[in-house]
Amino acid sequence: MSATTLTARAVLLDMDGTLVNSDAVVERVWRRWAARHSLDPTNVLSVVHGRQGHLSMAMLLPERPVEENLAENATMLAEESSDVEGVVAVPGAPALLEALVGAPHALVTSADDTLARVRMGAAGLPLPPLLITAELVAASKPDPEGFLMAASQLGVDPAECLVLEDSEAGIIAGLAAGMRVLGVGPRAAAFGPTHHAPDLTGITVEYVPGGGISLTVPHPAVP
């Protein structure tokens, strides 16, 4: 089977759906929310992946005041942080994070700091040395701010960063930042990432002289 090699100077990793499979928790929490607001849960779940909760609420309840969305989002974050049933690592994530130790890489997530640490811990995954979480940005994905902030703090040009993402909002954000995006998982293929892989299994990391990183995806990373 052919493979694809992608080179970069920094790797920027989304969390939910990319490193951590938290779909079970997300579905439980948002299905309850949909029921409370008499909304179609299927439509709700088609919106919420990759975004901060209050922005999803604003899309789903456009007439509701921002203050109500922020308050309810805080409640839901607490719910999500206390529910780790079914939270597991995406196949290949432990090996990839281990291979990236010592290389410039960051977690860029729409979760807040508490939720990011809870979910990574529940999945048995180490935290990257740099975390860009919801509290640190003024604008959430699909805005590119988080990815650009990570690149700046790592001292790497955005064009030399490789983003790993699963959601529409995250893929849009990565591309808007001027970065290449490896879409990960079944959701990602439909949203136009630069390349796509079914999961992280078998991805290997090598270091290129001069500080580069080479990721080889064992299955073809389909454009």
Residues identified as active-site: 14, 16
**Which residue matches tokens 């990183």?**
213
How far is the C-alpha of 47 from the C-alpha of 143, rounded, in Å? Answer: 15
- Specify whether the CB–CB gap between 76 and 68 falls below 8 A: no
How far is residue 158's CA from residue 180's CA, in Å, rounded to a whole number? 9
Which alpha helices (H) appear in the chain, and where do they start and end? 23-36, 41-48, 53-60, 66-81, 93-99, 113-122, 145-154, 168-176
Dist. CA 137–CA 142, nearest whole Å: 12
| DSSP structural state of residue 160 | G
- CB count within 10 Å of CB 64 equals 13
Q: How far is CA 14 from CA 26, 57, 68, 203, 208, in A?
A: 15, 21, 27, 16, 23
